[in-house]
Structure formats: C-alpha cells, structure tokens
C-alpha cells in the first residue's frame, strides 16, 4: 500500500487515483492520524498531498518528523513539499510571491530520479503563496521557476522527494511520469495492482463474510449496484436475490437491460417489481422539484421494503434467514464521510434511492475501496455488458426530475422518445466517452409557436444538457459538433409528437446544476 496523507482540499483523492493508474494500490489517511499509526500500516511509500494552508499559519497541519526517518520513501507535493522542507531544516518563506496556474518549470537535473527523461522546460500547475528558498541539508535542488528557486528537490539516499507543484493534475505536463518515477524508481515498487486481483480478493472476502447465509441487493440500473451485485453473485451464487424497482421513470430500454442483459451476463436471481402506476399516482398534480424528489424517495423505500419482506418471508419458509444487504458504496463516499480511516463516521450511503436506517441487515460493500473508473473495470472483468458498464450517471428519481411540470404517462413517453434519439445520435457520433452525461429535459409547462408542414404548431421545447465533468461537483457545457446537434434537433422535432423546438443549455455548473430539478 501507498499511503496518501490528506492535508485537505480535494487533492488527496486525485493523487490516490493517479497512483492506482500507475497500478500501485493506494489509500488515503487524514493528516491528523498519528505517524506511528501510519507506519503501522507498513506502507511501501507515503505521499504528502497539497492543502489549503500555509505551513506558518497557526494550527496548520503538521507531521511528526519521524515520518521522514522511518526509512519509508516519501514524496511531498505542494503543501507536503513545504512541510517536508520546513520540518527537515530547509527555508520556507512567505515571500508574497504567489504563483497560480500554469507555470514554466526549469529542470536542473534531468537525470534525477524524478525528472529522468523529462524535458528540461515544461509547464506545471502551481498554487501556492509560500516559497522554498533553501533545501534541507542532504537534498539536491532539481528544478526551479522564475519565482521559486527551489521548486523540486530530492535526497536519494534517504529516499525523500518533493515538488512545489501539483503533478497529479492534468495541467501539469509529465505529472504522471514523475509520480511513476517516484513509485517505481524512488520507492522501488512494482506496478502489479490490477482490478483482476480486486475481483479475486473481494470474492474471497464476501464468502468469508456471508458464509452460507443469504443476501439481498437493490439494483438501480446504475453501474455501482450492478457491479456490486455481480461480484456478490459470483461469490455466493443464488443465495443472492436482487430487487429491481421499476418506477416507470426509467429511460427507454433500461428496465429491459437489467431484466435481460444483466441477468444473462450474471445469472443472478432477480425480482422485478413493476410499481410504475403507484409512482404515477403519487406524483399526480405535483410540480415542485423537491416535492417530486421526496415522493419518489418515499415510494421507493415502501416498494423496496415490501419486496424485501417477501424475500425474507420466502427464505424463512425454507428455514433460511436473509442477513446481508449488498450496497455499491464507492471509495469517494467512504473518504468524504469518514476521512478514509475505516469504520468511524461512515454515513449509511445508498445508491438505490434511500434505504431506511433501521434495516436489520449487515452491509456487504465490495466496492468501498474503489473509484468509479475502477468499478467499471471490475464490471468489464466480470463480463457485464458494455451498456451497463459504460453507462453514464442517471439520477435515482429518473425522468421524474427531467420533466419541468407535472409528470404524466404521456409526457414520460414523449421524453423517453426524445432522450432515446439524443442518446442514439451521441453514441453514433462516438461522443459517449467525451461527455459526462447529457440530460434531456422536457419543458412541459412551456409552449412555443412553430410551423410544420403548412400549419401552425404550439408545442413543447426539449432541452439538451450535455456536460463535461470529472466528478459532477463542477461541470462545463460540452461543445458538441454542430452537425450532431443538427441531427438530434431534426430527428426530435420530426419524430416526437408535440415537440417543435430543441434548445441547448450552455450553462456551466456553477451556477446551473447538471439536472434541471
């Protein structure tokens, strides 16, 4: 394991992901964890992340210098770099010389451990106020910028390395290469970690946890629950029952995809509950987005609990008990809620629309160490269909929050048609991987005048909301090619009844959220 010490902000998660991209397993620990506890994990290397503080600020996170003296290779980035410099006797000043954004870096030792084979001049991403003006004793300065005399240093003998910038962000040229140089050359770690090893390990762990008891899993159609279910199914076979609640707010073909493709690929036992009428009734006359979300969440729990009670009763009739609930919790959920320290503070995360807190089940969470892209790889490894594994995010409340206005069967059908056309054309244009997701929204409460054939029309607009994003926290609108937009627009207005206008949402997030409700 490589430990990534988190000094705040979002850098640690990105670093941990990049380490895994280098095929080395990584875990995040908070900087408040005692160094002895970190070392007790026997890390092969430690990376100190960036963070929002200045090393001179009162209360700024510190580290016991023992971390640099344990013989474990350490790589400090940005704040971690300054902390290493200051702790080991170098000079860090608040010079007032700030650097933010893309900055030219001059490498003075192109043959050094970190900078081997990297061009002497390249751009890196800086974000700092303080600057290191003298490296600690025993360290060699390996790079500088116009503003910072010591932008990188290393001490090969002690296996300590540092850079002032952020090699983990895409804007830093050669960032991944430098990280890999640290891992492979500096720390001597072999790149052997794969999602294949995760599958084997998790299957063994699930078998150990569940024993010969039974488990249930709520399937949402999303990637996470599908991969979690497939893993557990592989481990315990038909002692797992999956429940899929069809709330009628799914897109075209989605329920069938779960019913047919997923079952065909995994052989999982599936109970499909058609609750679309119930949801439509509950949503009758409701136009407020928050109210819609609450109603959908509430109905979901009721239907799921009912299905679950049936499964438990059925098992009971055979003298068996259902003790486990499978959830598709991911590593970011774990880190964000508990700092990655283990069991403390972890929210009862769910990905199937909200499960009650008093569930009498033990949780099985086989994905809780994985990032989203790794979950996709595990899914692929397990032979799940591409359509499920590469599926773009789709909100639990489904099309219910993509109809601005009251949700009715007719409007859902109309939106489903428009959405299917947009998805088809985006796929045909090869844009699926490029965009994060593309909600298609029906403005059911809006009408505008159009002309079709020889007659006047008075129909609804459809909004396309294509966005690019890394994590959905922020997003930018995707610059789709005009010809693709033109094809989608022509087809939707020709093929979908009552729609006479297609518009594109060109708002970033913030200020606009990705979904319209």
Active site residues: 78, 166, 168
Give kind and range of the element (H or E) at residue 109.
none
Measured between alpha carbons, how far apart are the two ends of the chain, in Å? 42
- Check the annotation: does 226 bind a ligand: yes
Residue 214 near residue 315, CB atoms below 8 Å:
yes
State yes or no: residue 393 binds ligand XMP (CB under 6 A). Answer: yes
Residue 438 near residue 426, CB atoms below 8 Å:
yes
Cis amide prior to 251 (ω within 30 degrees):
no
Q: How far is the CB of 50 from ligand XMP (least distance, A)?
A: 25
Segment contacting ligand XMP (CB under 6 A): 92-100, 173-181, 239-247, 390-398? Answer: 390-398
Beta carbon nearer to ligand XMP, 361 or 516 = 516
Beta carbon nearer to ligand XMP, 310 or 505 = 505
Q: Which of residues 457-486 bind ligand XMP (CB under 6 A)?
A: 472
Beta bridge partners of 5: 29, 48
Beta carbon nearer to ligand XMP, 127 or 437 = 437
Q: How far is the CB of 479 from ligand XMP (least distance, A)?
A: 19
Structure tokens at 422: 């947009």
Of 10, 20, 4, 49, whose CA–CA distance to 373 is shortest? 20
- Check the annotation: does 225 bind a ligand: yes
53, 112, 202, 437: which one binds ligand XMP (CB under 6 A):
437
Structure tokens at 423: 């998805």
Q: Is 3 helix (H, G, I), strand (E, B) or coil?
A: strand
State yes or no: residue 509 binds ligand XMP (CB under 6 A). Answer: yes
Residue 379 near residue 390, CB atoms below 8 Å:
no
- Check the annotation: does 224 bind a ligand: yes
State yes or no: residue 396 binds ligand XMP (CB under 6 A). Answer: yes
State yes or no: residue 150 binds ligand XMP (CB under 6 A). Answer: no
State yes or no: residue 354 binds ligand XMP (CB under 6 A). Answer: no
Segment contacting ligand XMP (CB under 6 A): 105-113, 234-242, 391-399, 452-460? Answer: 391-399
State yes or no: residue 513 binds ligand XMP (CB under 6 A). Answer: yes
Q: How far, in whole angstroms, is CA 472 from its chain's centroid?
A: 8
- Check the annotation: does 221 bind a ligand: yes
Rounded to an integer, what distance in angstroms lies between the CA atom of residue 517 and that of residue 504?
16
State yes or no: residue 29 binds ligand XMP (CB under 6 A). Answer: no
Q: How far is the CB of 418 from ligand XMP (least distance, A)?
A: 17
Residue 123 near residue 102, CB atoms below 8 Å:
yes
**Contacts of residue 234, Cβ cutoff 8 Å, sequence gap at least 6:** 199, 203, 266, 382
Q: How far is the CB of 440 from ligand XMP (least distance, A)?
A: 12
Cis amide prior to 511 (ω within 30 degrees):
yes
Q: Which residues bind ligand XMP (CB under 6 A)?
A: 393, 395-397, 437, 472, 509, 513-515
Residues of each annotated binding site:
220-226
Q: Which residues are annotated as a binding site for ATP?
A: 220-226
């Amino acid at each position: 394991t490589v430990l990534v010490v988190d000094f705040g902000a979002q850098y640690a998660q990105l670093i941990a992901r990049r380490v895994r991209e280098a095929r080395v397993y990584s875990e995040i620990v908070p900087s408040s964890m005692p160094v002895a506890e970190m070392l007790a994990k026997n890390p092969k290397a430690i990376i100190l992340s960036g963070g929002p503080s200045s090393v001179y600020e009162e209360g700024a996170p510190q580290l016991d210098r023992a971390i640099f003296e344990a013989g474990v290779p350490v790589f400090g980035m940005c704040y971690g770099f300054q902390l290493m410099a200051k702790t080991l006797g170098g000079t860090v000043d608040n010079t007032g010389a700030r650097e933010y954004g893309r900055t030219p870096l001059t490498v003075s030792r192109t043959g050094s451990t970190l900078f081997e084979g990297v061009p002497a001049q390249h751009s890196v991403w800086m974000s700092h106020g303080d600057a290191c003006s003298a490296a600690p004793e025993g360290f060699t300065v390996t790079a500088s910028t116009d503003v910072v005399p010591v932008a990188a240093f290393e001490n090969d003998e002690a296996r300590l390395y540092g850079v002032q910038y952020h090699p983990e962000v895409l804007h830093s040229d050669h960032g991944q290469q430098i990280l890999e140089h640290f891992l492979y050359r500096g720390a001597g770690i072999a790149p052997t970690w794969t999602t294949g090893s995760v599958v084997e390990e998790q299957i063994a762990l699930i078998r150990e946890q569940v024993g010969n008891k039974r488990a249930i899993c709520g399937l949402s159609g999303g990637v996470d629950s599908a991969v979690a279910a497939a893993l557990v199914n592989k481990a315990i076979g038909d002692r797992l029952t999956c429940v899929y609640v069809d709330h009628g707010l799914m897109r075209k073909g989605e329920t069938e995809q779960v019913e047919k493709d997923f079952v065909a690929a995994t052989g999982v036992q599936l109970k499909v509950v058609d609750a679309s009428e119930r949801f439509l009734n509950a949503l009758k006359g409701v136009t407020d987005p928050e109210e819609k979300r609450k109603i959908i969440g509430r109905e979901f729990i009721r239907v799921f609990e009912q299905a679950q009670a049936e499964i438990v009763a059925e098992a009971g009739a055979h003298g068996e008990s259902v003790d486990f609930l499978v959830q598709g919790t991911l590593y970011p959920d774990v880190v964000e809620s508990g700092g990655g320290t283990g069991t403390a503070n972890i929210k009862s995360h769910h990905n199937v629309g909200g499960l009650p807190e008093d569930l009498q089940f033990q949780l099985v969470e086989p994905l809780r160490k994985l990032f989203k892209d790794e979950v996709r790889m595990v899914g692929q490894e397990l032979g799940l269909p591409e359509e499920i594994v590469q599926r773009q995010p789709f909100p639990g409340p489904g099309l219910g929050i993509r109809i601005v206005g009251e949700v009715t069967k007719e409007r859902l059908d109309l939106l489903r048609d428009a959405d299917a056309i947009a998805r088809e054309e985006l796929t045909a244009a090869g844009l699926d991987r490029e965009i994060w997701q593309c909600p298609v929204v029906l403005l059911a409460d809006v009408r505008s005048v159009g002309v079709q054939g020889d007659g006047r029309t008075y129909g609804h607009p459809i909004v396309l909301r294509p966005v690019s994003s890394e994590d959905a926290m922020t997003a930018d609108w995707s610059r789709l090619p005009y010809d693709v937009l033109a094809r989608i627009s022509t087809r939707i207005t020709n093929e979908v009844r009552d729609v006479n206008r297609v518009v594109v949402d060109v708002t970033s997030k913030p200020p606009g959220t990705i979904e319209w409700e």
